[in-house]
Every structure is written in structure tokens, then in C-alpha cells.
Amino acid sequence: MVREPSQKMKDLVTHLREKINYHNHRYHSLDAPEISDREFDGLFRQLKEIESLHPELVTIDSPTQRVGAVPLEAFTQIKHEKPMLSLDNAFEAEDLIEFDDKVRKRLEHKGQLIYSGEPKIDGVAVSLLYEYGELKRAATRGDGFTGEDITQNARTIGTIPLTLLGSGFPEKLEVRGEIYIPISDFHAMNIAAKKVGEKEFANPRNAAAGSLRQLDPAKTAKRQLKMFAYSIGSHEGKQLPVSQIKLLESLGEWGLRINPLRRTLFGIEECISYYEKVLGDRSELDYEIDGVVLKVDSFLLQEKLGFLSRSPRWAIAKKFPAEEGVSYLEEVRFQVGRTGALTPVARLKPVRVGGVTITNASLHNMDEVDRLGIRIGDAVVVERAGDVIPKIKKVLIEKRVRPTTDIQLPSNCPVCGSIIIRNPDTVVVRCGAGLSCSAQRKETIRHFASRLALNIEGLGEKIIGQLVDENLISNVSDIYRLTKKQLTELERIGSKSADNIIESINRSKHTTLPRFIYSLGIPDIGEATAKELANFFGGIEEIGMASEQSLQEVPDVGEIIARNIRQFFSKNENYLIVRELVELGVTWPEMSSNESLPLKEEIFVITGTLVSFSRVVAKEKLEFLGAKVSTTITKRTTCLISGDKAGTKLSKAIDLKIKIFSEEEFLKLLEKYNV
């Protein structure tokens, strides 16, 4: 029998954790380890052993608990207490001088201003919330107002402390910064992906974003993500340092990683030289940067300057010029999109630009081809700006020595062979075959299954491609007729993956009206318009029968969208597909008006894994009944839905005597309201 841990044992655990946290910080954040990896592993193993003998001593902030949380079904949305703004951009030195003039004028400041200079990291912006020094929550920036809860994944990142070091930090502190993947690790990742036939990432930023968006934290843990902290959001208790550079230093002392290239700069001239210096040193860094960020250093002055709508008046990003390379246009292929639009895509002789190999560039449309005067065989300047899709900047006419060939718009669809339709009013040319063209079928199905539509996890581009090519599905309703047997007959799909796909197909049947409308892929109807339509009409039949005139009464819907909706429903095949989907079991709760919502007083939190449907759908259902759904338990929380493998949230809810629903009880509640 294992005995109660003695006080001595408890002290040893605390001591080991402090020691591990300290050395973790030296290793990951300061790049200055004091002990060997072996010694570190020894400490870690010792702690793990004690914790396995005395599980009651395990705490959520123990360094052993970074990985190990159960995979999520979907990410929860989080509203930022203070919006995460963006920065105004400057491209020329004159823009900086103008910025400085404006700032000084506003402040009525005659002499030089002190600025802070930092590299602009090209990664993914995140927010980390610490309460009493403990990491409580991590979220992505999202649209600046709402992001996604990535706490489980952030916990696996070595440069993110689970507990802040030292003292003097505010009781509540929201740290903001950028998560990225080192360039060398990005290359290693792509080499490994290529070996097993997986899709490679276009650039380190995408690789970082993709790694953070893993539902299984064990997968994120395998990626070499790192973080630089650069500012704070909301905070309570304790006075903060008075300037940006001092704040960065404090963040460093509290265990966060701060960028070593930060500088205090006196006057705008020093800012310009700083930019030049960082630009010169850029190629030696193992992380991507796309410029420098200059901030008025004093927080008092920052406060006086305030904000414009989406960016602060006290900061500016001086962007680096786009990186360029020279390549040759080998071929132009025409891609067919969901609505049949043909896009010319340039196939280039592989060229490395800013550490990334470029083989394709979009030519957008034939007008762009004409504007560039480009021909097959031409030498071209390829430009890559940050995350943007590579672009052909210009043709090097002087290098045109070999014979070149004209780029011809095909007269038939490159996929299905149907005649191409040209509308003289627009530059867009289309394959008019609609769903009889397999490219349009694939894209339509892909859109239907995508995350913001019916969210059928596991049904990605490759599988859809195979299913369509094998004639197993030809429209979206066929998805609901798929069998496990059909799936396992496809290449590279085992029994387990087939089960998972079938399960997510079944789960997707419970959806909402806005998602359903969006999933149909009517041209120009995004999520927001789909919501407006759902709120206005309340049912799909009503939308299908509405006249163009009444459709235009909906906010967001103008002449073009109204016409697109009418055209969609006037096609018999579309009408039939909608009907079939409903017959095959796709359902959504009815939309109702706000006043009489039964759960309008309640604040729910959902924890653990639900079997009947994803957490996102559970949240939508609750919101539909008027409830608010939050991700953290507070005194204001009124109910907790506790699924399988619920963790700390459940114990916290018990402590706070919050009403707890099992999944079964939750289903009964929904049933009561016919949702």
C-alpha cells in the first residue's frame, strides 16, 4: 500500500518543480542552459516517479502535465476582453518620418521621442491569460475580437511557462505574443511530410498555424513551436512598468521569452537605422520576420495618443520589401473552382525565395496575363510577401531569347471538356457544366464538409477526390449514403479512419440553419449572410420560395446575391438535393425570436467529450435557446455540461455548487425544447 505523502515529500515535489521550471526557462527562453539535458531529464523523471506514486500530488501546473490532455472535438470560441488590434504599416522611410511628425504634433512634443524597436515576427498572434501566476487560458487572435481556445496546445510549448517565475507580476495578466516555428524545423517538417506523402506547408507561418490548430495536443507537442512575448492585454492588481522596453524586461523576468533584438531608440533617425540593421541581419535568424515594430516607448504617452479604429496611434510596422527571385514559366494550368470559374495557375521552375521553394503562382485571370504580357518560357520575377500567395511581378523581356508560346484560354473545361462560357461584363470565365463537371462537384462537396459548413471532420480534399473519381458520391446528399465498406475500399483508409469518418458524417446531421444555408455554396453567400438569411426567414423552404425582391429586404443581401439565391433554387437538381438532405436526416432546430428564449438567464460551460455531437454544435444549440456559453467556470456560471473524461472544470463546478448536467440530462433538456 502506498502511504500518504509526508511533508518532506511534498516539499521535494515543490522543489523539483521550481527547479525544472527554472531550467526549462534557461533552456527554452534564454537559450542559456546551466545543466545538461541528462541532468534535466533526471529531475523530470524523479518528479514523474513521485507523482505516479502519489497521484494526489499532481497539479495542473506541474511541468509533467504539459502533454496528456484528451483530444478536443473542436475549438471553443473566446471573446478577447480587450481586442487584439493590428498595426498600421509603413513601407518607405518617409512614412516613418511622417508617422513621427504626426505623433509629436499630437503630443505637442518638440524634441526627439523615445521609441522601442522590435522585430515583427511572422507567426501566429496569441493571448495567454495568467491568474496568480498560473496559465489559465490561451487563445488565438482570430479576427481580433474572438479567437479560439488553444490552451491545451499552448501548454505543450516549452517557451510558454505554466507558472510565472519570480514575483511582482499582476494577479491577472494577459500576455500577448507571437508563436512561430523556426525555419530549420519547418524544413525538417516538410521533408518528413513529403516522405510519407502528406501535404507540405507553404511557409513557416502556415506550419505554426496548422500545428496550433491540432485537436490532439500530443500532435502539437511534436512540433517545435516557440513564442516571443511582446505586449500585454488586460491586467489587474500591481502596477506595471512604465514603458514598453521595461515591460518586456519584466515579462522576461517572469519567465516569458522576449526578443533579444529589442532596442531603445532615440528619435526617428535611430528607428530608420534600426530597421536597416535588422533587415541586414534577417537572413541569420532562424525565424521569419517581415519587418520591425516601432512603438512610442512611454505608456503614459501611448495612453495620450490612443487608438484609431483597429490600430494604435503610437505604433507602426515598417515592413520589409517583398522578397524576390527569378524563375521561368514552364506551363499554365487552368484550375476549376466551385462555381466553375477558371483560374490560370503558373507552374514555375522551382525557385527559392526567402527560404521557401516556389513552384506555383496564381495569375488570377486572363486580364492579369495580358497586363503582364507573359508567355510560356518567359523569365519572370517572382515575389513573395509574408503569407501572401506568390505573385509574378513582371516578365524579364530582355531575357526572352528562346522561343516562347502564347497562353491560350482553353475553349473547353480542362476537367470535364464542356464549353467555356465567357461573360463579356466580367473577366471571369466559367465551365458551364455545373455539377456534372467533376472539379465543381469536388469543390462543392469540399465546401459542404468544411469547418464552417457542416464540419465533417476527416472528409478532406483527398478523400473527396477519390470518392468522386470512383463515382461513390456525386453530390452532397450522397455523403449520407456512404458506407464503411465503401470507405475502406479507398486507398490508405483503414477500418478505424473509416469508422471516424462515418461517425463525423452522422454527427454533422445535427446542424443549424445558418450552417446549412452556408454549406449549399450559393455564390457570394458567406457565413454572415447565411446567418442573416436564417434570422430573417427562419426556414430553408421560405428562402427557397422567396422572390428576389423579398430576399433583398435581408440586411447584407443586394441585387446580385438575391439573384444568385433565386437561380440556385430555380434549378430543380438543387431543390431536390436540399430535400434529400433533409430526408436523409440533416436537421436543425427551428429559429425563434429572442424574447421568450427559455435559457436566456443561463451561463453554461461545456467540458469533457460529448458523444452525441461536437461541442461546437452543443454550444450552438444552447445559444439557440438563449443561453450564454463560456469556456471558463466563474461564480457567474450557472450550469456545467460534463461529458466523458471531464477534468478540473468539473471539480471546480462541484466546489462552486454549480448545477451539473450529464450528457444524458443535457439531451433531455434539448428534447424538452425540441432542439
Task: Tell me which residues touch ligand IVH (CB under 6 A).
Answer: 85-87, 118, 120-121, 125, 141, 178, 230-231, 293, 312, 315, 317
Q: Residue 472 corresponds to which cell in the numbers above?
A: 461513390
Smallest gap, in angstroms, from Cβ of residue 546 to ligand IVH? 40
Say how far apart CA 52 and CA 41 lie, in whole Å: 16
For ligand IVH, the closer of residues 121 and 476 by Cβ is: 121
For ligand IVH, the closer of residues 318 and 510 by Cβ is: 318
Torsion of CA 419, 420, 424, 429, to 10 degrees: 170
Q: Nearest residue by C-beta to ligand IVH?
A: 125
Asked if residue 383 lies in contact with residue 324, where contact means CB atoms within 8 angstroms, the answer is yes
Q: Which residues contact 106 (CB under 8 A, 6 or more apart)?
A: 304, 305, 313
Annotated active-site residue in 120, 319, 391, 531: 120
Q: Residue 509 corresponds to which cell in the numbers above?
A: 446531421
Say how far apart CA 383 and CA 389 lie, in whole Å: 9
Long-range Cβ contacts of 525-529 (<8 Å, 24+ apart): 525/561, 525/564, 525/565, 527/452, 528/556, 529/554, 529/556, 529/557, 529/561
For ligand IVH, the closer of residues 124 and 599 by Cβ is: 124
For ligand IVH, the closer of residues 221 and 317 by Cβ is: 317
For ligand IVH, the closer of residues 232 and 577 by Cβ is: 232
H or E element at residue 655: helix 648-655
Q: Residue 125 corresponds to which cell in the numbers above?
A: 498572434
Report the DSSP beta bridge partners of residue 298. 243
For ligand IVH, the closer of residues 100 and 457 by Cβ is: 100
Provide the pairing of β-strand 289-296 with 315-319.
antiparallel
H or E element at residue 247: helix 244-253
User: Which of the 8 DSSP states describes residue 376?
Assistant: B
Say how far apart CA 340 and CA 430 lie, in whole Å: 5
Asked if residue 363 lies in contact with residue 393, where contact means CB atoms within 8 angstroms, the answer is no
Smallest gap, in angstroms, from Cβ of residue 139 to ligand IVH? 13
Say how far apart CA 130 and CA 237 lie, in whole Å: 12
For ligand IVH, the closer of residues 141 and 318 by Cβ is: 141
Smallest gap, in angstroms, from Cβ of residue 206 to ligand IVH? 15
Say how far apart CA 457 and CA 477 lie, in whole Å: 16
Smallest gap, in angstroms, from Cβ of residue 119 to ligand IVH? 6
H-helix segments, 477-556: 484-488, 495-508, 513-519, 527-537, 540-545, 548-551
Say how far apart CA 124 and CA 212 lie, in whole Å: 9
Asked if residue 473 lies in contact with residue 479, where contact means CB atoms within 8 angstroms, the answer is yes
For ligand IVH, the closer of residues 87 and 353 by Cβ is: 87
Smallest gap, in angstroms, from Cβ of residue 228 to ligand IVH? 7
Say how far apart CA 228 and CA 203 lie, in whole Å: 19
Smallest gap, in angstroms, from Cβ of residue 177 to ligand IVH? 8
For ligand IVH, the closer of residues 20 and 322 by Cβ is: 322
The number of helix segments (H) and strand segments (E) in the chain equals: 24, 22
Smallest gap, in angstroms, from Cβ of residue 289 to ligand IVH? 8
Asked if residue 329 lies in contact with residue 375, where contact means CB atoms within 8 angstroms, the answer is yes
Confirm whether 194 is a catalytic residue.
no
- Distances in Å between the Cα of 484 and the Cα atoms of 428, 481, 496 are 40, 10, 10
Q: Residue 471 corresponds to which cell in the numbers above?
A: 463515382
Say how far apart CA 353 and CA 340 lie, in whole Å: 32
Smallest gap, in angstroms, from Cβ of residue 231 to ligand IVH? 5
Single out the residue of 78, 98, 80 nearest to residue 88, CA to CA. 98
Smallest gap, in angstroms, from Cβ of residue 84 to ligand IVH? 6
For ligand IVH, the closer of residues 243 and 642 by Cβ is: 243
Sign of CA dihedral 245, 248, 254, 258: negative
Smallest gap, in angstroms, from Cβ of residue 451 to ligand IVH? 22
Catalytic residue list = 120
